[in-house]
Chain A
Amino acid sequence: MRFATETGIVFAREVRPNLRNPVAILFGMAQPVVFLVLFGSLLSGVPWGGDGAAWQWFVPGMLIMLGLGGTVSAGYMLMTEMTGGSLDRMLVTPVSRSAMLVGRTAKEVVMLVAQSVLIILVVLPFGFELHVVGALVAMLLLAVIGVGLGAFSCALAVVARKQESAFYVVQQTLMFPLLMLSGVLLPLDNAPSWMRALSRVNPLTYVVEAERALFAGQLTGTSVLYGVLSAVGFAVAGVLVGARAMRLTGD
């Protein structure tokens, strides 16, 4: 199958620098780890937290945050290649545009999963309770949402290709509200009603809730179902939008 081969070629190209220099995997993790240490320590002091429970609530959200951060690099890498000329060189080869998008995104997803595993290993000694099957499904869900985030980020890079700064402005402006309104950092239970309404239209909210349920070992239930639906829908939309955008790249 040609699409799979081409995606593999693009993926192999993207991932090779990381294999040659594995320490780079750690760089992207800095922010979530700092948040984990600072927030996590704070959370263990609040009433509904306490001991391992704080981690159980906080870590799944951090993985989503890691996913959001990783997408910055998907779009950023595409942006540098667009301005530098190496994307043009790839675009003139017979490799399809969608393979370029999916291959790139797949690399970000693999990185995301690798970083997530590292984070879980780090929190294990601090009382994080691991439900193996739930965690595996949670990782899969994380990969799916990562595809969507990576693809949307690439689409944004293409749309903003003539004003590079616009890419960062949009990405940064979207990132924090998305984080806050998905309940990654703080629970939205006591939020004003308009915030809760907004969080209900944020696809990430459902994914975060599903991640929490899965890491708690709940494999069934509505939150997992909604999370999976939301992530799959988001990923499909992202790939469609991203593939469309990739066709504009040369213009």
Chain B
Amino acid sequence: MIRTRGLTRNFKVKRQIVEAVRGLDLDVEKGELVAFLGPNGAGKSTSLRMLTTLLRPTSGEARIAGHDVLSDAAAVRRRIGYVGQGNGAGPYFRVRDELVTQGRCYGFSAEVSRRRADDLLGTMELEDLANRDAGSLSGGQRRRLDIALGLVHQPDLLFLDEPSSGLDPQNRANLWEHILRLRDLLGTTVFLTTHYLEEADTKAERVVVIDHGRIIADDTAERLKADLAGDHVTVRTDNPARTARIADRIPSTRGVTVDGDAVRMAVPDGAAVLPVLLRALDAATVDVRSAEVQRPTLDDVFLALTGRSLREAEGVPA
């Protein structure tokens, strides 16, 4: 569905060339749900804008459903839906008018466009706002309208740029319900950017991590976490120094640290290692006060890959 080779985009900023996206090689199959994860400025949106024909690549190529984004942009546009970071609806236009216009833009008759618009007003719970100017809607309402606009023509491939930013948890859950239902119904391929770790983790089947314009990891969230970060095991005992020595002797543990009475370590499979550790401690007559296995997050993956946490990389206090 998506195939890029060496996709690159440079920008000129104050006479300096900034490489926003550097040689992206990406393959996405039909029906996949892929999250593009990375800090702000990593090149996520730039990549998306190239894939959606909004931005011309500096070099490299990208094909969407077999069509080149440069030489066959019109064919690409017919197959994709795009929900950008901005507001899809013009502020001076009425909600329903914009939905109907969108249908007309994709070549539906006025009647079909009106029906689609009304259907979407229903599913996105926007009926009461149908005759309001888009500019008068709240942030969450506008975002729902943006999504509705991207779904009018039921595209084979849906691009979403930070779809849930600015939404409260309930709206975010609603949004995901709609996206997943659409997928079940039509087999839509979904490609989204996000900097919400939890969203990439729980919703996407595949996570592509991007940093400084390059893909640095690409797998399921489960495998990324197991391979790159591992589980965190914490035990609290009456003898932390001895605990640490014993933990170090178990072959699969890494990064054993002591903090007060707590000893922490990373292991690929915490559930299996913990009993081994507890038996060893018991044999050494170390009194265990508590034991805990923590599943890693994608932030741990990012940290393992780059040495920075995603939150640090964005300059946002954790």
What is A's interface to B at a CB cutoff of 8 Å? 6, 9, 12-13, 16-17, 20, 77, 80-81, 83-86, 88-95, 250-251
**Once the chains bind, are B54 and A89 in contact (CB under 8 Å)?**
no
Q: Which residues in A have their C-beta under 8 angstroms from that of B146?
A: 89
Contact B91 A13 (CB under 8 A): no
Residue of B whose beta carbon sits closest to that of A83: B86
Closest Cβ neighbor of A89 among chain B residues: B88
Contact in complex: A93, B77 (CB < 8 Å): yes
Can you list 19 A-B contacts with CB-CB less than 8 angstroms, sorted by A residue number? A6-B105, A13-B98, A16-B94, A17-B93, A17-B97, A20-B94, A84-B91, A85-B88, A86-B86, A86-B89, A86-B90, A86-B93, A88-B86, A89-B82, A90-B105, A92-B52, A92-B54, A92-B81, A250-B53
| CB within 8 Å: A-B pair count | 81
Chain B residues within an 8 Å CB radius of A83? 86
What are the 9 closest A-B residue pairs judged by CB atoms, nearest first? A85-B86, A250-B54, A93-B105, A89-B88, A86-B90, A92-B82, A13-B101, A9-B104, A85-B87
- Supposing A84-B87, A84-B90, A85-B88 touch, asked if A92 and B80 sit within 8 A by C-beta, the answer is yes
Q: Which residues of B contact A80 (CB under 8 A)?
A: 90-91
Residue of B nearest to A16 (CB): B97
| CA gap between A149 and B162 in the complex, in Å | 37
Question: Considering only CB atoms, which chain A residue lies closest to B49 in the complex?
Answer: A250
Chain B residues within 8 Å of A93, by CB: 77, 102, 105-106
Contact with A along B216-227 (1 / 0, CB 8 A): 000000000000
Chain A interface helix/strand/loop/mixed: helix
Measured CB to CB, the closest approach of chain B to A219, in angstroms, equals 40
CA distance A12 to B55 in the complex (A): 27
Residue of A nearest to B79 (CB): A94
Q: Which of A16, A85, A94 contacts B84 (CB 8 A)?
A: A85
Q: How far is the CB of A8 from chain B (nearest CB, A)?
A: 9
**What B residues does A89 contact at CB under 8 A?**
82, 84, 88-89, 102, 146, 149-150
Q: Is the C-beta of B279 less than 8 angstroms from some C-beta in chain A? A: no
B49-70 CB contacts (< 8 Å) to partner A: 49, 52-56
